[in-house]
Structure 1
Amino acid sequence: MKISSIFFMILATTSILLIGIQKKEIRQDLKEGCVNQTVQIVKYTVKEMLPQYGYQDQSNIQLVYSIMKRIVSNEMIPYLGYLENYGINSQELISENAVPAFLYSEDDETSEAKNVSGNSITTFTEKQLYSRSFLRKYFIQVDSTTTITDQELDGRELFRKNLQLNSQESPQILIFHTHGSEAYADSRSGKQSDTVTGVGEQLTKELKKMGFRVYHDTTSYDVRAGRLDRSKAYYYAAQGIERILKKYPQIQVIIDLHRDGVAQGTRLVTKIDGKKTAQIMFFNGMSRTATNGEISYLKNPNKLWNLAFSMQMQKKAYENYPGFTRKVYIKGYRYNLHYRKRSMLVEVGAQTNTVSEAYNAMKPLAKLLSMVLK
């Protein structure tokens, strides 16, 4: 296949997409939104592909193929599926850009994290906490798909934000699981208690012992019709969050508890109070990609509050439980963190950890939450 054929394929796919838009009975404003998005896809494709156009040897052509596959898979196909399944009264629509929410917020939280623990420092000076280079080295790890600005990484702001709860009205905290079926090395099949949902129930118990009022949502948002399906898990989880917040608007803290995925040889384990304990990782989304910049249809007015929550938790972890946390991981999407200022995504261990190691992590995590929220 010649490189020119690749361009023809992409242009043909784009043409089909545009024809499909014209044939659908979609409101004019939504139609224009889809057309504008298609134009952006074409521009993005050309920007990515043209530098490779002059390549002649086979290895470079393979690079072009891989770029083409990514563009078609990530950009083209979702739009075709969207148009096919679109309903005029669909609640999946993001009105600003005429694109359903799940197409953009369902970039899973899989990380490139290689670090086992954040650092060995247990006390910090103001100078260190206010140094962006220090925070980048010891506190955060930024995924290659996104960026964080110096203005956002302002220690004076992040560590001074008051995150204490301002109401005792019940419930105060919502715990849920976008990927509730995530399991551990020795999890028993069919036992919810052996999944990250069971770990969430343990966290609920620990927090209640400390006087917090907690609502634990045990819905498996990654299971549809009895089958594992994570393609729209963040979308379904968002629906669940909104239902719960409508019923309990007094909720101030939202925690999405996950289990990470790592190389099979990696063990995320430390010892706390003599017990083998899974390491945890706080995870934040920037609503920004390194390639295309700000994602306007994934606005998060609470982004810096979310980051402050993670950074303050990380600081308390370094001071009280050295080795318990990996660096705060920064990635590009929103991950349903926009609903509250005190929203947090936490990765508890990985598939190589045992269930008991994950359970053991909940007491120190609850104590850290108490230190920041009380």
Structure 2
Amino acid sequence: MENLLAAVRDQIPALREGSTAENTLSAGTEAAETDTAKQDSNPGPGAERGQTESKEQGTEEDQKDGTQKDETQKDGMEITEPEQTETGITEPAAGESASTAEPEAPQSVPEETIETGGAPREILYPEADTIQETISPDLLADQQALLNRFFVVDPNTSVLPGEIDGSTLLGKDLTLPENAEGPQILIYHTHSQETFADSRPGERADTVIGLGDDLQELLEKQYGYEVLHITEAFDMKEGCLERSRAYNYAEPVIAAALEEHPSIQVVIDLHRDGVNGSKRLVTEINGKPTAQIMFFNGLSRTKESGELTSLPNPYQAENLAFSFQMEYEAEQYYPGFSRCIYLKGYRYNLHLRPRSVLLEVGAQTNTVEEVKNAMGPFSDILHKVLSGKSPASGG
């Protein structure tokens, strides 16, 4: 059995193209850059859609989904803002949080059980235990090099000196306490209506909500976490798609769930990105076509307005560390799986817990199979961070 598992692990691809994206650090507020209006009606997580910022600036949703980004090169891949490709569904924007635009046979895994805390579990995904690409300590110590390698900074925000520091980001303890009672992880979808290239109309399994079901099952059955999955449609009002205030509608519901379940320490807002229709965000992991992922963080800061004091996030540093530690694990164990960490202004409801993340899985051009295949490696890197047992993390 060990030989079979070793054979599976050996199939993990190793190389990723070098990063070509150049991001520039900015210590202060620079002249505001005007984004061109998007054609897409489907707002992506790139701009906070739905949290009131001020009367002058409107809502975060307005800021994010009402602007279109230029394509940005990152690790050899183009990241673009979403365009509308489905009737009545707005595709997510790729750089902004990538949510305004919106496509083989599964590898068999040996069946056996592993004892964890006395409870057997079925192996649903072959966890990676071999580092494929080592990240140099010199890179972690160079803020600009680190920024260029792992991040994309939206043109309308800025990164402050010292904000992206490798040792600080990796040094934050984000492990979860063992034997916690109650759910530890919350999954929800600000944009519940996002679908994929071959999604069947009316089939929950083929939507981003169905993707959340798959992630919940993996986290519960393979890793033993208790997961709460909220499937409320925050982007639907009176039977119509309405994303202009989806983040506003989601916040009180998620806050109430966290108050009811104080045991929840991890919050995942699961999306799919929106890209130019000719692009497909796909790689190969364990011999299977797998959608690439992207982490998204809001900095509550824009070049036009500076610090958004009306949208405070006391957990911004922890949010960044959470995304970076998962990016760090992905880069070493699954090179090419994660596109980058996208940094934009506003907040995106990431202020509700320190371990909060907005995750983009593939885009509207990926198939349902490809995005479902991404849940295995993502759940693995998430567990590596939450357990602190990854060799890459020194655990």
Scaled by the length of structure 2, the TM-score of the pair is 0.68
For 1:321 and 1:113, the matched residues in 2 are separated by: 24
Partner of 1:319: 332
2:59 to 94, 98, 103: 103
For 2:279 and 2:187, the matched residues in 1 are separated by: 27
Partner of 2:215: 203
For 2:35 and 2:163, the matched residues in 1 are separated by: 33
Residue by residue, what CA displacement relative to the aligned partner does 1:255-287 show, whole Å, maximum 9, x if unpaired? 000010000011100011111000000000000
Does the residue aligned with 1:189 lie in a helix, a strand or coil? coil
Alignment check: 8 A CA contact 1:106 1:235 kept: no
Aligned letter for 1:235?
A: N
Partner of 1:183: 195
Partner of 1:133: 144
For 2:219 and 2:265, the matched residues in 1 are separated by: 14
Offset, 1:246: 1.9
For 1:311 and 1:204, the matched residues in 2 are separated by: 22
Alignment check: 8 A CA contact 1:118 1:139 kept: no
For 1:295 and 1:223, the matched residues in 2 are separated by: 27
Which structure would you say has the larger RCO, counting Cα contacts within 8 Å and 6 or more residues apart? 2
- The answer to whether 1:267 aligns with 2:288 is no
Aligned letter for 1:137?
A: N
The 1:169–1:122 alpha-carbon spacing in structure 2 relative to 1, beyond 3 Å, is: same
For 2:224 and 2:187, the matched residues in 1 are separated by: 15
The 1:174–1:112 alpha-carbon spacing in structure 2 relative to 1, beyond 3 Å, is: farther
Offset, 1:249: 1.5
The 1:111–1:175 alpha-carbon spacing in structure 2 relative to 1, beyond 3 Å, is: farther
Residue by residue, what CA displacement relative to the aligned partner does 1:218-259 show, whole Å, maximum 9, x if unpaired? 111111111111011000110210121121122100000001
For 1:305 and 1:105, the matched residues in 2 are separated by: 23
Partner of 1:226: 239
The 1:108–1:207 alpha-carbon spacing in structure 2 relative to 1, beyond 3 Å, is: farther
Alignment check: 8 A CA contact 2:51 2:60 kept: no
Offset, 1:104: 3.0
Offset, 1:166: 2.1
Shifted more, 326-335 versus 108-117: the winner is: 108-117
Alignment check: 8 A CA contact 1:113 1:329 kept: no
Count of aligned pairs: 288
- The answer to whether 1:169 aligns with 2:181 is yes
The 1:308–1:116 alpha-carbon spacing in structure 2 relative to 1, beyond 3 Å, is: same
Partner of 2:295: 282
Segments of structure 2 that go 5 or more residues without pairing to the other structure are: 1-30, 38-49, 78-131, 388-395
- The answer to whether 1:154 aligns with 2:110 is no
Partner of 1:373: 386
- The answer to whether 1:237 aligns with 2:250 is yes
Does the residue aligned with 2:255 lie in a helix, a strand or coil? helix
Kindly report the root-mean-square deviation, in angstroms, between the aligned alpha carbons of the 2 structures: 2.8
Alignment check: 8 A CA contact 2:51 2:247 kept: no
Residue by residue, what CA displacement relative to the aligned partner does 1:88-124 show, whole Å, maximum 9, x if unpaired? xxxx997xx87699823554478656446479x8211
Alignment map for 1:340-355 (pairs within 5 Å): 340-355=353-368
Offset, 1:290: 1.4
Partner of 2:262: 249
Alignment check: 8 A CA contact 2:57 2:63 kept: no
Alignment check: 8 A CA contact 2:283 2:336 kept: yes
Does the residue aligned with 2:381 lie in a helix, a strand or coil? helix
Q: Rg: which structure is higher?
A: 1
Aligned letter for 1:130?
A: A
For 2:51 and 2:199, the matched residues in 1 are separated by: 37
Identity %: 46
Partner of 2:28: none
Offset, 1:125: 2.4
